[in-house]
Amino acid sequence: MPESAILRFWKPFNVLTQFTDPEGRATLADYISVKGVYAAGRLDYDSEGLLILTDNARLKTRLTDPVFAHPRTYLVQVERIPDVTALQRLRDGVELNDGLTRPTQVELLLQPPELPERPVPVRVRKTVPDCWLRLTLTEGRNRQVRRMTAAVGHPTLRLVRWAVGPITLAGLEPGSWSQLNTHEAETLWKSAFKR
């Protein structure tokens, strides 16, 4: 395992996954002062959760290139309660305008996950129930989770990436980051290079 800077960061809602923005929106630079690290993957402006940042290009490639199928786990609040058919469609792969998605691990959560409130509240409709899913994907197309849930009739209301491989948000708050310790870094490297 080469000596590398590897950080885990809880990207807040409405923050760009880059260090500069000509329009003056919030970016990673507002939270992270470590030089030379870049995000291994992206999260949309309106999505929240775990970003891995590193200065190691090889690790970044192994975590993000779809050919390596490195898992990413999301907690997703959706409109209405998906039935067995909708859940199975997500598991089997959903046909999107850029092709069929890979099979996805999906779990309907019986209780909402313990997450901090979002600074901009999620739109709630009193007549439409919502629920939370846990999805694990091995590819990262543009706005993929949102497109998949919409395709099966359950638009995403809130999206939080909980894990990248074995690394999770546990112990972080929105806007906070930590350097991976030796054990965490070794675990991430092993997961990224397991085949």
Q: Hey, what are 194's tokens?
A: 């397991």
- Contact call for residues 100 and 93 (beta carbons, < 8 A): yes
**Residue written as token pair 């880059």:** 18
Active-site residue numbers? Answer: 44
- 88 phi, psi to nearest 5 deg: -70, -35
Closest CA to 41 of 26, 22, 28: 28
Residues ≥6 apart with Cβ < 8 Å to 174? 10, 11, 12, 13, 48, 116
How far is Cα 58 from Cα 70, in angstroms, rounded to an integer?
14
Q: Hey, what are 20's tokens?
A: 């500069």
